[in-house]
Structure 1
């Protein structure tokens, strides 16, 4: 692999309101669709060895609006279940400020989540990191550039693991909706080439 291009999906109602959105499958807002369309300029006329997309509707729609289903010489994208967002367990759909009312000072990266229902059992940072490691392994096995369309916390963890850092160090890499980032190499060592860049 030469470079890994990371695209965070466009805005949803919950991302706009700061609600933890793990496995809840929400559509993009009108602004989110605009953000996704703007990403097309980054991938147009660029060959990719692999295009991986989260199963979530918001990621798939971002990939489609960005033109990743119509790349010349490419058969489209592949759904990778390892790209689902962090499972927030009992904090699914809840804002940080609401969580802190019950748990003052709570911080996802340090304190983790509480279990939720059967559909939201919750994950630790290390478990998200294991999924990110599998994505990196898969991407590293192909030639050329790779593009990944996924979610804020998952992509932050992926960046940390790319750099050989613990998954919890994803906290260091803020990532907004509808942005792009690039991971690559310098002298054969993994580096961040650009991060959280708007179109």
Structure 2
């Protein structure tokens, strides 16, 4: 069976400062561009059967700079909707809610059109992406590449492994990295994580 390759987009000004960046369309920084370009050698001789990207430009730009052409924007790959915590850092949230955890508490509603999500809702989106990827992987037509965001990809990894979505907290994911989800003896495994060429 082919592998599922995950790519977290390159650095943005908000990711560099720890601000929750859900649906705000923040561009890559100069460092983020360099991180994305650095992924190109890894993908140069790989010819994925399917490339899916988040619709946000930081993910689409990362895919393009990494040489992943023909990507299809998939709305299920949007980052977690942080609702009222969009643009806010975890230390700022913890000042008012010292026991808060994104993974177990979710977020309060934000501006119109940004109601916020909890882990189960993000997990449902991740499950839909995994079902689409499974069609290609099961036919052994080649690797599938997903270019998206940290929290979404962490939840997706948990779901791939058969874990509850909130177990995504176990998988720290840096900007401009790739990870490999595979199988061993028919069981899902993490074959590589947080890698840079």
Does structure 2 conserve the Cα–Cα contact (< 8 Å) formed by 1:6 and 1:155?
Answer: yes
**Runs of 4+ that moved beyond 3 A:** none
Residue in 1 aligned with 2:160? Answer: 162
CA deviations 1:128-165 (Å, max 9, x no partner) are 00000011100010121101100000000000000000
**RMSD value, Cα:** 0.8
Shift of 1:198: 2.4
Q: Which runs of 5+ in 2 are unaligned?
A: none
Q: Where do 1:129-168 residues align within 5 Å?
A: 129-142=123-136, 143-168=141-166
Question: Alignment length, in residue pairs?
Answer: 193
**TM-score where L is the length of structure 1:** 0.95
Q: Where do 1:1-199 residues align within 5 Å?
A: 2-69=2-69, 76-142=70-136, 143-199=141-197
Shift of 1:117: 1.2
Does structure 2 conserve the Cα–Cα contact (< 8 Å) formed by 1:92 and 1:120?
Answer: no
**TM-score where L is the length of structure 2:** 0.96
Q: Which runs of 5+ in 1 are unaligned?
A: 70-75
Could you say what secondary structure the match of 1:51 adopts? strand
- Give the distance between the partners of 1:158 and 1:170, measured in 2 at CA: 7
Range with bigger deviation, 118-127 or 146-155: 118-127
Does structure 1 conserve the Cα–Cα contact (< 8 Å) formed by 2:81 and 2:114?
Answer: yes
Shift of 1:81: 0.4
